[in-house]
Structure 1
Amino acid sequence: MYEAQTFEEILTRMLDSVPNDVDKREGSIIYDALSPAAAELAQAYIEMDSNINLFFTDSSSGDYLEKRALDYGLIRDPATQAQRKGLFFSSPGVLFDIPIASRFSIDSQNYTVTERISLGTFILECESFGVIGNQDYGSMLPLDYISGLVDVQLADVIVPGEESENDDAFRQRILLHARFPSASGNKSDYINWSLEVPGVGGAQVVPLAYGPGTVGITIVDSDAKPASIQLIADVQNYISPVTGDGKAPILSGVTVVTAIGVAVDVTSAIVLVSGYTLLQVKATFETAVIAYLKSIAFAADPTVKYTRIGSLLSETLGVQDYSGLLINGGVANVSVIAGRVAVKGTVTLT
């Protein structure tokens, strides 16, 4: 089996091949002549070690990971644009229709109207790619004059914008595809098809959910939160539209629904480290809680652990100590059953 060689090992082996009647001490002619070659060979071994890791999915990265994925017919998911709900008013409380393709701006981000939902309610697509399109809410300014329009409000995230798939997420998708291969409409197929739809962050599949020949799919968005009506429709149309032209086998009764959110409320008293404010600590802790809940969405064990929340709080910068930690009013784990997903509720730190 291949083993990397250090500079010292290579140099020692080279010197051993030199006759003993030649001066081989450090600083000798032969020593100085062989040392640079040994250093170059050691560097070559280091590079070979790195290159070998690039051949395997679990240790590859970047362009090499994309080449490994091509063996399975997979490509890295590109960044996508957020789709948002916009409300348009001609006077306070009076909704107002506007032309499709109208453009609006909020905090340096531009949005384009793409589809009418109902009177004065439209879908807007962020012109920038990535999660930045999910962040802003509130009043928008028109980039072109629209007669009669007096107010525009950027509201719900319909389909979250996503960054380009990072190496860790891409690697997990490749391994999932390799370890649970498709087989003409098996459970893994429905999971993989769901994850191919932009904005989907996870999927659960229940065979025979509504009787023979039926499949139930429960999804969450890319933030591991309940999916919007539009995202549900996108997955439904991709896998099993009314026309029967989707990914699912013909005559499969596929029903796509969103996971139900289970709010996780956290309350605790804390002792602050000098120099930190309560607002700073609360923001940092909430970010950690969101990341934790996202990591356990649709996991084999999606239970929200009381001790894990406590660990997150104690590890938060600015927290010296804490007491009286409650999760949903108690000191126990929060169970999350199939079809549900834990989401951050109210965080109260005093």
Structure 2
Amino acid sequence: MTPQEYASQFSKYTFDYFINSALNNVPDTIDKREGSIIYDAIAPVALDYEALAIELQNALLMSFTQTATDEFLDYRGQEKGLTRKPATYAQVTATMTDTAGAPAVVQVGDRFSSEGADPFIYDVVTPDDDGKVVLQCEQLGTAPNHYVGNLLPVTAQSLFGTGTITDVSVPARDAESDDDFRARILGTTDALAYGGNIADYQQMVDSLQVTGAVQVYPTWDGGGTVKLVIIDNDYDLPSEELINQVQQAIMPTDDAAVGNGYGLAPIGHTVTVVAPNIRTIPVSFTLTVDGTTDYDTAMASAKQALADYFLDRRKVWGTLAKGSRQYALSLYRSQIMSTIMAVPGVVNVTKLLLDGADADVQMQYTRLKSELPELGEVSISENPANQA
């Protein structure tokens, strides 16, 4: 019996259930109709009992990881030493110039705003003499992740000319959802994070809150060497700024620090942080739609469904395969067809090719190569039956 099935048993305990149960114990010689003395005396208690049954049903659901939500799911995670991943702040790289076109001088803490009716506010984190500035958004979450454009000064700036965000160097993430956190709790293994093992490095990188996932390759270039392959919070290639942040936190690269225990890495470990290898996968297929949906609308929805599928696969990129000590990630034709078939109005998908072949695609993971799938060109042919 599942928690939902068990909790559903409380659904029968309604106001009618309690008042009828009580009235059945009252002799028929007494008036039991609605509005009678005995009915009016029992009704408030029956109503309270119904509310109590609802509370008991909720308490039961909140006591299981499979059905708990919000703070109750947090409690379940704490029992396994896990906490929900919090939302983070996006960091961006911008160029600043003065009215003469020379690099502008800004200070740590100076504030700038994006354009628009509902702007994002950024604080200067790292100014630079060459006019390149690292700023951090004041708003938590992913909303600022894709803003690239002009900046306006909020803090008064003398002779300020222009400010432009050129790159979202460290994308933010939203707070971990109930579904994602629940999956992480239920998928937790008994691996102990200790002494620089794989679980320890995963925990180190995750604690930085700037990456979406990491793959750990121990002894990749000899004893004591560790390679960390990371992706950003958008589950995409990390920027050089993000790679450098993780590298300096885990093991600074100056000669005095390498292998000497400066940073989070254990003494004796030489850590290299890199980005994965992008593998672009074109997809082509023939689409058949019914008479309820415009073909162009179905085609656009199919492309979005494909993009969502690739994103979902990248979200598990850093997970070790079950029953194995290897990373494994495949793109399955059957799953892609099911994803497209779920688009409203689509009745059939044929001639599906992934990377030009009628076969599933498996990413390669070795000590030298770690592939991250990216959706390439999507070519959709219209079934002539759509035009009949």
| Common fold: TM-score over 0.5 | yes
In structure 1, distance between residues paired with 2:207 and 2:301: 37
Change (3 A) 1:219 1:234: same
Per-residue Cα deviation, 1:70-129 (whole angstroms, up to 9, x for no partner) = 4455443332111112234579xx873442335242332233332246733322222222
In the alignment, structure 1 residue 126 sits paired with structure 2 residue 137: yes
Aligned-pair distance for 1:225? 1.3
247, 264, 281: which one pairs with 2:301? 281
Superposed CA RMSD in Å reads 4.0
Question: Does the C-alpha gap of structure 1 residues 174 and 211 become closer, same or farther in structure 2, counting only changes over 3 Å?
Answer: same
Which residue number in structure 2 is paired with residue 229 of structure 1? 240
Paired residue type of 1:330: A
Residues 176, 288 of structure 1: alpha-carbon distance in 2 compared, 3 angstrom cutoff: closer
Report the CA distance shift for 1:191/1:118 in structure 2 as closer, same or farther (over 3 A): farther
- C-alpha separation in 2, matches of 1:39 and 1:90: 71
Residue 112 of structure 2 is aligned to residue 103 of structure 1: yes
- Asked whether 1:59 is paired with 2:70, we answer no
Summarize the Cα distance change of 1:181–1:57 in structure 2 as closer, same or farther, 3 Å threshold.
farther
Of all paired residues, the percent bearing the same amino acid is 26
Q: Distance in 2 between matches of 1:247 and 1:172?
A: 27
Letter paired with 1:251: G
SS in 2 for 1:133: helix
Quote how far apart the aligned CAs of 1:160 are.
0.7
Tell me the amino acid that sits aligned with residue 96 of structure 1: P
Structure 2 distance, partners of 1:271, 1:152, is 49
Structure 2 counterpart SS, 1:153: strand
Q: Which residue of 1 aligns with 2:181?
A: 170
Q: Match of 1:185?
A: 196
Q: Which residue of 1 aligns with 2:159?
A: 147
**Structure 1 pair 265–71 and aligned structure 2 pair: CA distance change class (3 A):** same
Q: Secondary structure at the match of 1:111?
A: strand
SS at match of 2:344: coil
**Superposed counterparts of 1:326-345, under 5 Å:** 326-338=353-365, 339-345=370-376
1:347 and 2:356 correspond: no
Change in 2 beyond 3 A, CA 1:137/1:345: farther
Deviations 1:316-346 (A, max 9, x none): 2354544443322222222212222212333
Distance 1:51 1:217, change over 3 A: same
After superposition, the C-alpha distances for 1:236-277 in whole angstroms (9 at most, x for unaligned) are: 333334372433332222222222222222233435553564
Q: Which residue identity does 1:61 align to in structure 2?
A: T
Which residue of the other structure, out of 333, 341, 359, is the alignment partner of 1:306? Answer: 333
Q: For 1:254, which of 265, 271, 291 is the aligned residue?
A: 271
TM-score between the two structures when normalised by the length of structure 2: 0.72
Distance 1:292 1:245, change over 3 A: same
Gaps of 5+ in 1: none
Partner residue in 2 for 1:270 = 287
How many angstroms does 1:159 deviate by? 0.8
Secondary structure of 1:47's counterpart equals helix
TM-score, normalised on structure 1? 0.79
Amino acid at match of 1:105: S
For the structure 1 residues 184 and 306, does the alpha-carbon distance in structure 2 shift closer, same or farther, using more than 3 Å as the test?
same
Structure 2: gaps of 5 or more residues: 322-327, 382-388
Shift in CA distance, 168/237, structure 1 to aligned 2, threshold 3 Å:
farther
* Structure 1 residue 292 corresponds to structure 2 residue 312: yes
